[in-house]
A and B are shown apart, each in its own frame.
Chain A
Amino acid sequence: MNHQGGWELIKNTWQSWLQHRGFFFLLAFGWMLPLLVYLMIWSAAASEGSLAGLSQDALAGYYLVLVLVNQLTYATTNWTVGDNIRMGQISRWLIQPMSPLYHALSSEIAGKVVFMLFSIPVTAFLALIFRPQFNLSWQQSLLFIPSILLAWALRFFWGYWLALLAFWATRADSLLALQDTMIFLLGGHLAPIRLLPNWMQSLAKILPFRYMSAFPVEILTGFLDKNESLTGLLIQLGWTSTAYLLYRLVWTRGVRHYEAVGG
């Protein structure tokens, strides 16, 4: 396997993406806005005291960390996988002496670099307005690192296997829209999980969507105790492995099925 070629591709992609920063900043702004809307709604709702033990400052802390975590874990790449399969771009990748996964990974990493250039300063500025507050402990920070890596991997591979269904169905992208909706509802965007009604809370804890976005934030901002964090990590690991296996399965079958159109 040619890893050096993969690394060169990654570097190239992010440098070329930086030339189009305006466009990517716009995308980042669009993802940030709904989260800020719900931060303000919940702040207004908590203006007389607190909601389920969450004060305005704690809500601000939760949502501002979520803005960053959401952009770090959002897999933009998956939206173009379907087009690449339909347009036959993937034929070229298949004959290159490295895994086509590198093409997805390169735009993933390029995306993170460009989005963070926008989001970190903007979030820092928003922190001055919303005055977030949370206690940071060593234990929380240590658990945060594996949980955000797993969250990224889970969200990426989950979207990737869905997108790869484009080998069979032309409009598989709409499944990605469904995934985004589920993350909005059950992944802590609409509300921190503990503010959801009971039935939604139980769903959130079982299904993979919370583990793609809210879970690392809950760990870092101290919403969870040690036991809850560790069980959560185990569930997250389970879903990530499932997503990876599904990706392998769909990929090997898909490539066998694939036949380029046109010439």
Chain B
Amino acid sequence: MQALRLIFEFFKVSTQAEMAHRANFFIRFLNAILNLATGVLSLTVIFNQVESIKGWDMPSAMALLGVYLLLAALRGLFIGPSLESVAGMDGEIWQGTFDFTLLRPVDKQFLVSFRHWRVLMLFDLCLALGVLGYAIHLMQAELTLLAVMGFIITLIAGAALLYAALLAFSALVFWNSGFLFTWIINDLFQLARYPVELYPGWLRLVLTWIIPVGLMTTIPAQALSGKLSWQWMILTLLFTIGALIGASWLFRQGLKKYTSASS
């Protein structure tokens, strides 16, 4: 309960700060539209040349794009800015101001994950939902209740996996504070734009089990089109739980290593 109240306060403060920069509204709006347009145009160009690639046609690839945009919007809404303010460029670890964060009487992982919100990303979130809706319309298949349930469950798992990956990469900053690990995972996340089956075999394995950006979007999109077997679903859920535990462990190990930046 207290956690929810805190999240609400964080959200409120971040929103008030953001309201001060009104020109940003326009810029965010422009970025979101550009992002959407490039995504949809890319699929149009690709499926203008071929009917389907390795079993993925336009509607199912569009569903995957919707999942990707949704996860990207969630990342931009709070996970990204919160972790970035700690482990990113000019973040608290670089500056040494992380000391003050550590002194707060709240769980540290909770604090670094939920502190900063970018309310304008809600607009991106709506666009992503629009793409998903459009994809479902294109599929024209009767959506079974089972498929929708599977989609929602795997989508939550995908978001949790993304969070775990971002947390783990951010935690690496405790070992080498000069390197921007969060940038690497942000770059790699772009690979989630397309189904993992389209990549060469070795990369597919890496993107499924080592840096699971493939699982984040491919599995929910498959669930929506009813192509996901229950074995894969259970495997994904187990893997997600494992990744969350692992990332949290890594973060706590990192905290133990932390020494302030000031002399």
Contact = CB atoms under 8 A, between A and B. Distances in A.
B190 A34 contact: yes
A40 B198 contact: yes
Given A22-B179, A195-B49, A197-B44, A29 B187 contact: yes
A206 interface: no
A149 B193 CA distance: 33
A33 B200 CA distance: 15
Contact of A181 (B34, B54, B179, B193): B34
A185 B42 CA distance: 8
A23 B38 contact: no
Interface string A111-140: 000000000000000000100000000000
B17 interface: no
Contacts of A184: 38
Interface stretch (B5-13, B23-31, B96-104, B154-162): B23-31
Interface string B205-233: 00000000000000000000000000000
Most interface-central of B42, B178, B186, B194 (chain A CB within 10 A): B42
Interface string B72-112: 00000000000000000000000000000000000000000
A44 B48 contact: no
B143 interface: no
B20 interface: no
Contact of B187 (A23, A30, A181): A30
Given A41-B194, A174-B31, A52 B49 contact: yes
B184 interface: yes
B138 interface: no
Contact of B53 (A23, A37, A44): A44
Nearest to B178: A22
B180 A23 contact: yes
Contacts of A170: 23
A177 B31 contact: yes
B49 A51 contact: yes
A37 B191 contact: yes
Q: Could you say which interface size class chain B belongs to?
A: 20 to 34
Interface residues of A, number: 31
Interface string A33-57: 1100100111011010001100000
Given A44-B54, A51-B50, A197-B48, A37 B184 contact: no
Given A44-B53, A195-B45, A195-B49, A33 B180 contact: no
A190 interface: yes
B228 to A, nearest CB: 21
Interface string B39-51: 0011011101110
Contact of A45 (B53, B184, B190, B191): B53
A178 interface: yes
A26 interface: yes
Contact of B183 (A26, A47, A191): A26
Contacts of A26: 179-180, 183-184
Given A22-B178, A33-B188, A177-B31, A197 B198 contact: no
Contacts of B44: 197
Interface in A144-192: 170-171, 174, 177-178, 181, 184-185, 190-191
B194 A37 contact: yes
A200 interface: yes
A26 B176 CA distance: 15
A14 B31 CA distance: 32
Nearest to B28: A174
Contacts of B45: 190-191, 195-197, 200
Contacts of A41: 46, 53, 194, 198
B24 to A, nearest CB: 8
Contacts of B199: 40, 44
A32 B66 CA distance: 24
Given A44-B198, A197-B45, 10 more contacts: A40-B200, A40-B203, A41-B53, A44-B199, A174-B31, A181-B34, A190-B45, A197-B44, A197-B48, A200-B45
6 contacts: A22-B179, A26-B180, A181-B34, A190-B38, A197-B44, A197-B45
| A-B pairs, 10 with minimum CB distance | A44-B198, A30-B187, A45-B50, A45-B53, A174-B27, A181-B34, A44-B53, A33-B187, A197-B48, A40-B199
